[in-house]
Amino acid sequence: MINAADVIALLPILLISATAGVVMLSIAFRRSHVLAAGLTLAGLAGAFISIFPALPFAPRQITSLLLVDRFALFYIGLIIASAAVVAMISYDYFEHQDIHHGELYLLLLLATLGCAVLVASTHFVSFLLGLEILSVSLYALIAYLKDRDQGLEAGIKYLILASASAAFLLFGMALIYAAAGTMEFSRIREISSGSGDLVLLGAGVVLTVTGIGFKLGVVPFHLWTPDVYEGAPAPVAAFVATTSKTAVVALLLRYFGLSSVLQYRGVFVVFAIIAIASMCAGNLLALEQRNVKRILAYSSIAHFGYILVAFLAGDAMATEAVSFYLVAYTATLLAAFGVVTVLSSAKRDADDIEDYRGLFWKRPVLASVLTVALFSLAGIPATMGFVSKFYVLATGAAASSWPLILILAITSVAGLFYYLRVVVALYSAPPARVFTETISISKSGMFNVVALSIVLIWSGIYPTPLLNLVRANMVRANMVRTDPGRTAAVLGDARNGSFVTKPNR
């Protein structure tokens, strides 16, 4: 049964759903871009604020589907914040398009809802529900500018591949259910450590990894990434790159943490191969790109390879490193896509590298923001990206996975090459021909990207507050590989709805 405490704990998710409903009704009565955007932002702000009253009730298991703990609330906060940034940079971008504006925000809210459900889910049912809410909204969002051929192509590509991967995911879940007789993450552990059918279970886990890997866009499930990033409107691409992937990584941490399947050599090796392949392919394939959105796409493939390196360490530090990395990555990519969005005109996105040539001498602020974002992606000190990369390397070193971190270091040098290509363009002499097409710089977009770049630099120089925030919110039970006895006790409590965490540092 759901009681008042459960409702308060679920308040962020409930408020996002309610906002979606309100926006839908408002469209029915009055079509107004400002109204829809305003309601969306107000709803997101309300949901964000409602995290604070929910905190005292965490951790709280609500039915067997959702677990609202500090981990989930932390990620919900991150997701809401990034969705709000996307909403804000979307306004001016879509304002000059001859389309219906309201549905955009509706879809955005639904996708955010899907993400929020994902990070709180502890059960295959909520996992699939969240994932499908997210995916279905994304199909429409990616193809939202239906006059652009590339957008339609990207939308359909995403639709087909996402459906296929969802089918794999479902099949994997069925196999696990057949082997374990349960769909709760935490119970899978009992089977995997006991006498269950390990072959079925292993096959099931690998198939679910397919579904997760597709959403993360890691090799070999990465084929959609560049096309979708290129075809989707820039703000939507930003959402796909940050919010949706953040949610799936959080789910991955939870799923593997609770079910502790990473202790199997086979699963570990699969992930290690995926990580290595993503780092190499992402960085190498980006070398030949001349399209900024595609460069960001390939770079994101590589970055999720890095995240997997930390994830594979499988201990408490890994959870922290991955979470910190996601915060840094989200802020960085939102800044980068924010600049692309602000520079885009009504006819096309500013995604060719030539659009950026000499930008520093024309628009120094935007060029500086993009420089900071690119340096953050490259992991240059004094940006948040450096601290997160350092954290990942430290996690790998602590777990003695030297081959992985060596590959990380070497491939990220290749990565530097294509980031520098954009930076070189930014600072080279402006082209002789003058663009007749003038764009009006969006004020809200400017505000967002400048704020993000300040966050990037501030957290790069003084990361302590953010590190502490991440540390305080990472549930220790997400790591069960090292201490089976204590975890079993914790999990027992979890099922009774009184999940207790003991910080051991």
Partner 1 sequence: MILVWLIGILLIGGVLASFAGRWSAQLPRWISLIAIGTDFILAVIIWAGSAFHGSRPWLDEVDCNWVPSLGIHFHLALDGLSLLMLILTFLLGIMSVLASWTEIREKVGFFHFNLMWVLSGIAGVFLAMDLFLFYFAWELMLVPMYFLIVIWGHERRVYAAVKFFLFTQCSGLLMLIAILALYFIHHRTTGVYTFEYSELLGTKLGGAELWVMLGFFVAFAVKLPAVPLHTWLPDAHTEAPTAGSIILAGLLLKTGAYGLIRFVVPLFPDAAREFAPIALGLAAIGIVYGAVMAYSQTDLKRLVAYTSVSHLGFVLLGIFSLNQLALQGAVMTMICHGLSTGALFVLVGGLQERLHTRDLGQMGGLWAVVPRLSGAALFFGLASLGLPGLGDFVGEFLVMLGSYRVSIAATVVTCLGVLASTFYALRMVQRAFQGPNAHAWKIPDLNPREAFMMIVMIVGLLWLGFFPQTVLNTSAQALNNLQVQSPVAALWR
Question: What is the contact surface with partner 1 in residues (CB under 8 A)?
Answer: 361, 375, 380-382, 386, 390, 393-394, 397-398, 402, 405-406, 409-410, 412-413, 416-417, 420, 424, 427-428, 462-464, 467-468, 471
Nearer to partner 1, 375 or 499 (CB): 375
**CB-CB contact of 390 with 376 (8 Å):** no
Is the CB of 264 or the CB of 390 nearer to partner 1? 390
Query: What tokens does 405 get?
Result: 């971190």
Q: How far apart are CA 232 and CA 270, in angstroms?
A: 31
| Min dist. Cβ of residue 289 to partner 1 (A) | 16
Shortest Å distance, C-beta 424 to partner 1: 5
Question: Smallest gap, in angstroms, from Cβ of residue 386 to partner 1?
Answer: 8
Asked if residue 495 lies in contact with residue 186, where contact means CB atoms within 8 angstroms, the answer is: yes
**10, 38, 76, 168, 457 from 463: Cα distances, Å:** 30, 33, 21, 40, 9
Of 347, 349, 243, residue with least CA distance to 294:
349
Compute the least distance from the CB of residue 446 to partner 1, in Å.
19
Task: Identify which of residues 208 and 411 has a Cβ nearer to partner 1 in the complex.
Answer: 411
Short-list 118, 89, 122, CA closest to 104: 89
CB of 400 to partner 1, least distance (A): 8
**3-state SS, residue 45:** helix
Please answer whether residues 35 and 74 qualify as being in contact, where contact means their C-beta atoms are separated by less than 8 angstroms: no
Peptide bond into 220 cis (omega under 30): yes
The CA distance from 317 to 335, in Å, is 27
Minimum distance, C-beta of residue 410 to partner 1, in the bound complex (Å): 7
Report in angstroms how near the CB of residue 471 gets to partner 1 at its nearest.
Answer: 7
Of 223 and 406, nearer to partner 1 (C-beta) is 406
User: In this complex, which beta carbon is closest to partner 1, that of residue 221 or of residue 324?
Assistant: 324
Residue with Cβ nearer partner 1 (482 or 498): 482
In sequence order, what are the residues at sequence separation of 6 or more whose Cβ sits closer than 8 angstroms to the Cβ of residue 146?
99, 152
Q: Which is nearer to partner 1, 177 or 427 (CB)?
A: 427
> Could you say which DSSP state residue 55 is in?
G
